[in-house]
Amino acid sequence: MTPIIIFFLALVLILLMTARFKVHPFLSLITVSLFIGVMAGEPFEALGSISTGMGKVFANLAIVIVSGSIIGKLLEETGATSVIAGDILRVSKKPLLALSLLGFLTAVPVMCSILAFVIFIPIAMEIGHRMKLPSSTVAMSLGLGTLASFNLIYPSPGIYSAVNELGAGTASVFIIGLVIAIPTMLVGYLYVDRFCRSGELPVRAATKQVQVKRPGAYAPIAVPIMLISSRIFYPVPVLNFLGDPNVALLIGVLLAVIFARSSGSVGSGTISACAEKGIRRGGVVLLDLCGGGALGTTLAMTGVGHEIGQVFINSNLPAIIIPFLVAVAIQTVQGSRVVTMLIAPSLIMTSLPELGLPVEIALISMACGTFMISHANDPYFWTIVEMADIDPATGYKCYTVGGIVMGVTAFILLAAIYSVFY
């Protein structure tokens, strides 16, 4: 059976198991990963791919996800989320746009869209509770906002690696990416505002009326962001260590504990209970992320991404759309945007002279393709679904389709820039 047929059968099976039969996402993803290995005639290799994919996701995201979850629980317990949400609502008359902008501005400095989401989702849920907005609406406003900048603006990891591999000019890549990213973010916000307003309202746990001061509310979030950002601008050993996302988020946990204790109304027992709840919630999220990692690695084992990419490269399509479609194919198969921007340039690089595209245009065309098509093998999909407590069907409608809308928008804008200025 050809890799492309296996790929489409895997997608259908995931959709049926998660959306139709309500099988837990982790079980669905692992089962389909095994199915892929059997259909490809490589069942034992698939077992190794599953372990590798799960291990990579756990190693990269375990501390970040669990630490972010604990911070969120402690901020909720001390009333810090109410303080921050209240400040946002006072400053902005459009809270959904404010959440999109928050995600947009923080995803590149922290070098991870998932991390930016994990940090700010407690604030988004508090705003949803206050404004009577569904969980899906506030979560997607934040999530799609992070994608707009993370996928397009230098020096996010994927763009940075592609610039180095292709030898593109950083100034032109940055300017084009920024010009496209801002309207793309606004389109994502408008899509959520129009099409993602159904679902349940966020459920806020009963909290004590703790009068936490603003430093205590903001420090567990602001300090990790500043530490992570600092190593970009001042890459010295101390900041490289403290600015590592794992270390920075653990510092955020420590600050959340210190300020919770200093409020005088939160004891050791309550702090321990918050940590326990945060670890349990983070563990559920991590299981689904590991399942997505297993699926992506197993699909990559079949070679379907390379096969689809070669089909596009050998076609007679307009030159500017080929890097875009190659990235779409790879992204759809394996789920990680950074991995897509590591693989796609290597496939496109040898064809650039034949395509006749400027390097920066080819690079941004690939970046536009990383918006789509994100589904069950995308770790970010499960991060949003689990941390916002929404069902996978809503995730497909809002996150997957929203990403497609943003990707098409970004590509149209790029095509317009190419036709006018080149």
Residue 387 identity: M
Residue pair 199/136 in contact by the 8 Å Cβ criterion: yes
| 111: three-class secondary structure by DSSP | coil
Q: Which single residue is written with the structure tokens 């949803």?
A: 128
Residues 390 and 199: beta-carbon distance below 8 Å = yes
Omega cis (within 30) before 373: yes
The per-residue pLDDT of the chain, averaged, comes to 85
What ranges do the domains of the chain cover?
3-421
Residues 6+ apart with CB under 8 A from 247: 227, 241
Do residues 260 and 293 touch, judged by C-beta distance below 8 A? no
Contact by Cβ (8 Å): 135, 389: yes
Query: Taking the model in full, what pTM does it have?
Result: 0.75
Place of tokens 């340039």: 345
Per residue in 30-57, pLDDT tens? 998 999 999 989 999 999 989 998 888 7
Q: Which of 192-196, 305-309, 318-322 comes out lowest in average pLDDT?
A: 305-309
pLDDT in tens, 409-420: 999 999 999 999
HEC-encoded secondary structure of 170-181: HHHHHHHHHHHH
Region of 389 on the Ramachandran plot (φ > 0 left; ψ -120 to 50 alpha; else beta): left
Residue 186's pLDDT is: 96
Q: Give the model confidence (pLDDT) of 83-141 as tens digits.
A: 877 888 888 888 899 999 988 988 886 667 887 898 888 889 988 988 889 999 999 99
Cα(343)–Cα(339) distance, integer angstroms = 6
- Check if the beta carbon of residue 331 is closer than 8 Å to that of residue 372: yes
Is the pLDDT confidence value at 203 over 80?
Answer: no
Residues in contact with 161: Cβ distance below 8 Å, sequence separation at least 6, in sequence order: 338, 341, 342, 345
Q: Which two tokens stand for residue 283?
A: 């563990």
